[in-house]
Amino acid sequence: EVQVLGDTHGNLVHLYERDCSVQRRHQKVVEVAPAVNLAARIREGLANDAVKLARAAGYYNAGTVEFLVDAETGEWFFIEVNPRVQVEHTVTEVVTGIDVVRSQIQVAQGHSLFGPEMALPRQDQVPLHGFALQCRVTTEDPANQFRPDYGKIHTYRSPAGFGIRLDGASAYGGAVITPYYDSLLVKMTAWGRTFPQACQRMDRALREFRIRGVKTNIPFLENVVNNSLFQEGGATTSFLDQTPELFQFSQRKDRATKLLTYLGEVIVNGNPEVRGRSASGSLHAAPLPSHDPSAPPPGTRQLLDQLGPEKFAQWTREQPRLLLTDTTFRDAHQSLMATRLRTYDMLAIANFVAHRLHHLYSLEMWGGATFDTSLRFLLEDPWVRLATLREAIPNICFQMLLRAANAVGYTAYPDNVVREFIYAAEQHGIDIFRIFDSLNWLPNMKVSLEAARKTGRICEAAVCYTGDILDPKRDKYPLTYYVKMAKELEKMGAHMLAIKDMAGLCKPYAAAKLVRALREEIGIPVHFHTHDTSGVNAASILMASEAGVDIADGAIASMSGTTSQPNLNSVVAALNHTPRETGLDLKALDRAADYWEVVRKYYQPFDEAPNSGTAEVYVHEMPGGQYTNLHAQAQSMGLGTRWPEVKQTYAEVNQAFGDIVKVTPSSKVVGDMALFLISHGMTVAEFLRLSPNHSITFPNSVIEMFEGALGEPEGGWPPKVQEIVLKGRKPKPGRAGETMPPVDLARAA
């Protein structure tokens, strides 16, 4: 369409054209001036015809002469004349600098276009500066066929800045939008020296809008102005119909309103997550240690990329020093403060770790309970945690804990879910997959081990340690049991073997005996993981080191001890000036400890770790990672004051279940049963006296485990207990993941 302007004195000019091709049901959506990529011949012909038509009719006033242009042949056809100001006149005003509305009024007053009152330029001097486009912001829902929305606008914030013009209608906070009138809220015009620049400015301004209470068409407009075909000037009248991606919208987050609502709720009613817990007291900012701002030095991740998994494992075996894994980002806070550590506090020190602690073998920072608690309690995306930490620490191998057939959940999953999860984890930055089964049942580990090997990263198979290989009376899990399992895992393709002592039961002399036996029987590196619940397991690491273990897990000093891992700083200091000196910077470790000491106080309401080591762990055998979580669970059920009874019942349930390996999810089942019995006023002895036709409904986790969902323990399930739990039903045959139908992951996404 061509904008014309004539007066009663016979003067007539055109103000160039506007491209209104982007239409929906023959109604204009976005207008552009001048038209992009319009041939000079067509532009000149349209303008001349518009002026010729208006002059022949003796037209005076502002008016629009509309044409239809054939995009293929370049022919144009006259449609109509609109003898008035159009909604889209704004784009013409912006690129020419001529006020069309004012000019129309002055023409009606009898003034000449070129007289002193109007002072418009002659046709050959009418300016044309850059490009402009207009978007009409309406209360229409583009996801619902542009159905008009109505209601009260709770929040309204409009954009501003250079090159932005707003022509407002009924847009303000508190305005009530009714279904009886036009849905237009505001017209926005953006200008730029080039058309892509104008589109960028429009996109920025659209994103700055905040309109709450009613739906708007802003997401649709954003898609239009960012479309490459539109920006190239190739959009025709069928553009919207032939471009379905314009109607694909991301969900609006409304973060500011949600944050204000949350803050108001917490201020008035308190945070339910910390209700009834001890307060953190006086807090101050954690001291961030300094480091060189240049790129971090290369570490084990670059070595793994260079060597590949097999040669990297060989390199690991050849190192004379004791290699160390830091668990602070995962198991340490899971074991001390119920896995509540936020990504924010990890990222704050991540660059320091990359620069000053680059001699670490790996960082255990993902998997286990962190996935569940991130989503359920912290309201964080665990994938974002992995990606952002990977970006901040590009040089140290990232290690995750994978529950084999249970992935990072508490039940069995179909095999394809486990495989694809492993592939996705590797793509997001995981380098070492520590894979275990909660009952040490090898068939459950096969799929995970194969998938981990296919990623081209490290497959570390874990043997879960329980019992006491030094006690001849506890003969269910002797030394030969662990050696046999280790040899099987090596045959199954493991690059490394982990001793997963999740409860800290592996005493110093037992650690030396076990590592020495493994070193004689297998050729892959051995990685020792333990907890310090007893208070003596730093000695277990030192004894394992003497026996030839390759890698050991520890936690930064202020995040270590008791249910967490042994003190990493102290282990490093103890090995200085010995053949197994670690090469880690002790001063850097101490600066990290200063940071974590302050940060840990932030989480005081969740810090359920015991104040000191205890030999009681050798009785209840509760995993360190479960201790604080189960304590928190008991408190939420009103059983916090009965914690000693919970621990004792936990030990009795374990024996009733056949003295099983206890690590998530099997440990969770034992904990669920202990809490169930106490809350129902039942003892383990009374449970064992139940007949199969009882009417009690046990926790689903208990039923599923005895049905076979978690696999088979060493020696099988006690028949009597299985009969009581299943009420006489037969357990399900086979491996759960194998019998479950695959999940349609594409459809789920």
In the chain, domain spans: 2-247, 321-606, 617-739
Helix axes 666-679, 700-707, angle to 10 degrees: 130
Q: Looking at the chain, how many residues does it have?
A: 749
Active site residue 487: no
In tens, the pLDDT along 284-336 reads: 899 999 888 899 999 999 999 999 999 999 999 999 999 999 999 999 999 99
What is the rounded CA–CA span in Å between residue 132 and residue 419? Answer: 51
Peptide bond into 566 cis (omega under 30): no
CATH number for the 617-739 domain, one of 3.40.50.300, 1.10.472.90, 1.10.357.10, 1.10.3720.10? 1.10.472.90
What is the rounded CA–CA span in Å between residue 498 and residue 549? Answer: 10
Peptide bond into 309 cis (omega under 30): no
pLDDT of residue 747: 87
Strand residue runs (E) in 393-514 = 397-402, 432-435, 458-464, 496-500
Tokens at 454, concatenated:
């296919």
Yes or no: say if 35 and 230 are a contact pair by the CB < 8 Å rule: no
pLDDT of residue 253: 76
In tens, the pLDDT along 224-252 reads: 999 999 999 999 999 999 999 999 988 77
3 state SS of 668: helix
What is the rounded CA–CA span in Å between residue 136 and residue 90? Answer: 11
Strand residue runs (E) in 410-534 = 432-435, 458-464, 496-500, 526-529
Question: Long-range contacts of range 717-726, CB-CB < 8 Å, 24 or more positions apart?
Answer: 717/657, 717/658, 718/656, 718/657, 718/658, 720/688, 721/656, 721/657, 721/658, 721/688, 723/692, 724/687, 724/688, 724/690, 724/691, 724/692, 724/694, 725/698
pLDDT of residue 629: 81
pLDDT of residue 728: 82
Fold that domain 2-247 belongs to in CATH: D-amino Acid Aminotransferase; Chain A, domain 1 (3.30.470)
pLDDT of residue 635: 86
pLDDT of residue 394: 98
| Burial class (CB within 10 angstroms; exposed 0-12, middle 13-18, buried 19+) of 205 | buried
Task: Kindly list the distances between the CA atom of residue 632 and the CA atoms of 35, 161, 300, 409, in Å, as whole numbers in the listed order.
Answer: 66, 52, 37, 19
pLDDT of residue 179: 87
Tokens at 701, concatenated:
């986790």
What is the rounded CA–CA span in Å between residue 245 and residue 142? Answer: 12
Tokens at 609, concatenated:
């770790």
Tell me the CB-side half-sphere exposure of residue 185, using CA atoms within 13 A. Answer: 29
The CATH class that applies to domain 321-606 reads alpha beta
pLDDT of residue 202: 97
The DSSP-derived string for 203-227 is: HHHHHH-EEESS--SHHHHHHHHT-
Q: What residues of the chain score a pLDDT lower than 70? A: none
Yes or no: say if 107 and 62 are a contact pair by the CB < 8 Å rule: yes
Catalytic-role residue among 28, 487, 601, 727: 28
Query: What percentage of the chain exceeds 90 in pLDDT?
Result: 85
